[in-house]
Amino acid sequence: MNLVLSGGTVVTTLDPPTVTSADVTISGGRVSAVGRSTASDDDATLDCAGCVVIPGNVCAHHHLYSALARGMPYRLDPPQNFVQVLQRVWWRLDRALDPDSVWLSAWTGGADALLSGTTTIVDHHASPNAVEDSLDGVGSALERLGARAVLCYEVTDRDGPDRAAAGLEEHRRLVKAMRPLQAAMVGAHASFTLSEETLAECVRMAGELDTGIHVHVAEDEADERDSLARFGKRVVERLAEAGALTDRSLLAHCVHVDQREAALIHEAQAWVAHNPRSNMNNRVGWAPVAALGNRLALGTDGIDGDLFAESRTAYWRAREADASVGPEWAIARVAASARLAGALCGDPLLGRIEPGAPADLVVLDYDPPTPLTSQNLPGHWVFGLSSRMVRDVLVAGETVVRDHRLARLDETELRARGREAAEALWRRMDEIDAHPFEPVGAAG
Ligand SMILES: [Zn+2]
């Protein structure tokens, strides 16, 4: 049976911005036609009059494991820098996770993403005291919700060699039992918590699994200082020499890369995930976005799953620094995130609404107050659209959000379970000290 999204204003692609009035016909999980529908009586119809239909957004860098941190108490001395944020907050939270809270974190963060119009999540997972089967937990929660995902485990030496080895092995388990709508990368934390041996193992695993490496790069100056002190080279040079910089690598942040590193990234055609809200929240600085090229995608770094909010902030932060930046730059970043996901999932039409493309679609309750055209879509995006307008969401043709609510399961019960798990998680965190791991290299 076909499903016809009828009577909407359809954004067929964000790059270049293209708007048309059309019905969208879906069959077998894919878009089969865009234009005047010739629906038969057997076809189901979703009335989209007065709505805008867009390709589903992609979050290019997420940490679903942090979803139960919202509103958690903090009782240690306030962190003074980024490394202390990790030591006192995130490296305590990740060690407090157990299999149940891993599942509920992924469910909570995944639900938030879908309800915000994000259909694909590129996740970076860490749960050092519950490594084994953790990606299966994340994958199972996202499968239940109906989201598309690219998963990996954050390999690091900060919790000792056994956990580094377990983190690596977790990728093999993931690939052996891969769920539909999911793909794998090899996750690595960041240069400053990786030995030469462990980094080499990550590169070897990426080769074995035929995928790329997803790693934090120069999020804070401390990452560069550590690499210079330990190896006499900058982070991206280190990654390139280790074989970790390819056209399938995904580098999160890149705030402190210099021109030579930006050139290496460009040469390798690696992807970069820009996370402006997280960077502002952690006071790590602003990435040199102009130098990072057209493979610059957008992530939320665990803040939430809302790419409307992230792309707006990306625009305003870039605009504050450079008056020549326009809204079209921001939505080209959203388009780049979809191209990244398309490359990782082997589905190059992801992020477009055209025949053959996967039917990952979002229906926005947006009856524009001014004319909406291909030319001015970027202005509507940055100044008008928001996740509160997300009415319906489809992933691979399946309705996963219907009329602002999750369609496939009862939210109420799982939200109650999530709140209970959060309280227990916060209690366990209270028993865990700041992480002792320190990067090398003194602050300048
Ligand atoms: Zn991150």
394-404: pLDDT as tens digits:
999 999 999 99
Residue 26 sits at φ, ψ, to 5 deg, of: -120, 130
Place of tokens 């036609």: 33
Q: What single DSSP character describes residue 365?
A: -
Q: Given the structure tokens 């490359």, which residue do they identify?
A: 343
- The answer to whether 64 touches 139, Cβ cutoff 8 Å, is no
> 163-202 burial string, b = 16+ CB within 10 Å, else e?
bbebbbebbebbbeeeeebbbbbbbbbbbbbbeeebbebb
State in Å: Cα 434 to ligand 1 middle.
19
Q: What is the pLDDT of residues 159-203, one digit of tens each?
A: 999 999 999 999 999 999 999 999 999 999 999 999 999 999 999
Residue 68 DSSP symbol = G
CA–CA gap between residue 180 and residue 307 (Å, rounded): 24
The runs of H, that is alpha helices, within 353-400 are 377-383
Please report where in the chains the tokens 């109906």 appear, as a residue: 146
Amino acid 198: pLDDT: 98
Going from the Cα of 303 to the center of ligand 1, the distance in angstroms, rounded, reads 10
How confident is the prediction for the chain on average, in pLDDT?
A: 97
Q: Distance from the CA of 74 to the center of ligand 1, in angstroms?
A: 20
> Quick one: pLDDT at residue 39?
74
Distance from residue 32's CA to the centre of ligand 1 (Å): 36
* CA 370–ligand 1 middle distance (angstroms): 38
Tokens for 49, please give them.
């009059």
Question: Is the distance from CB of 48 to CB of 363 less than 8 angstroms?
Answer: yes
CA of 181 to the centre of ligand 1 (A): 22
What is the radius of gyration, based on Cα positions, of the chain? 21
pLDDT in tens, 248-292: 999 999 999 999 999 999 999 999 999 999 999 999 999 999 999
Q: What share of the chain is helix, strand, coil (3-state, %, to 5)?
A: 45, 20, 35
118-123 vs 148-151, strand pairing mode: parallel
CA quadruple 8, 12, 13, 17: dihedral positive or negative?
negative
**pLDDT tens figures, 317-343:** 999 999 999 999 999 999 999 999 999
**Please, what is the Cα angle at 174 between 170 and 175, to 5 degrees?**
120
Query: What is the CA(2)–ligand 1 centre distance, in A?
Result: 39
Segments of 173-283 assigned E as strands: 182-184, 186-190, 213-217, 250-253, 271-274
The alpha carbon of 15 and the centre of ligand 1 are apart by a number of angstroms equal to 26
Query: Ligand 1 centre from 388 Cα, in Å?
Result: 25
d(CA 9, CA 373): 10
Ligand 1 centroid to Cα of residue 300, in Å, is 8
Q: Is 13 helix (H, G, I), strand (E, B) or coil?
A: strand
> How far away, in angstroms, is 278 Cα from ligand 1 center?
9
**420-429: average pLDDT:** 98
Give the pair of three-digit tokens for residue 238: 């280190």
Q: Measure 61 CA to ligand 1 centroid, in angstroms.
A: 6
- pLDDT value at residue 444: 55
- Residue 5 CB contacts under 8 Å (≥ 6 apart), including other chains: 23, 24, 25, 26, 45, 46, 48, 53, 361, 363
Per-residue pLDDT tens digits for 59-117: 999 999 999 999 999 999 999 999 999 999 999 999 999 999 999 999 999 999 999 99
Interval 16-21 mean pLDDT: 98
pLDDT at 369 over 90: yes
CA of 272 to the centre of ligand 1 (A): 12
Per DSSP bridges, beta strands 3-14 and 52-55 are parallel
Q: Please give the torsion angle defined by the CA atoms of residues 239, 241, 247 and 252, in that order, rounded to the nearest 10 degrees.
A: 10
User: What is the per-residue pLDDT for 411?
Assistant: 92
CA 63 to ligand 1 centroid distance, Å:
6
Residues 6+ apart with CB under 8 A from 189: 126, 154, 155, 156, 158, 215, 216
Instruction: Give me ligand 1 centre to Cα 190, in Å.
Output: 9
CA 171, CA 203: separation in Å to the nearest integer?
Answer: 12
Q: How far is the CA of 213 from the centre of ligand 1 (A)?
A: 13
Six-digit token string for 397: 């043709």
Higher pLDDT, 43 or 242: 242
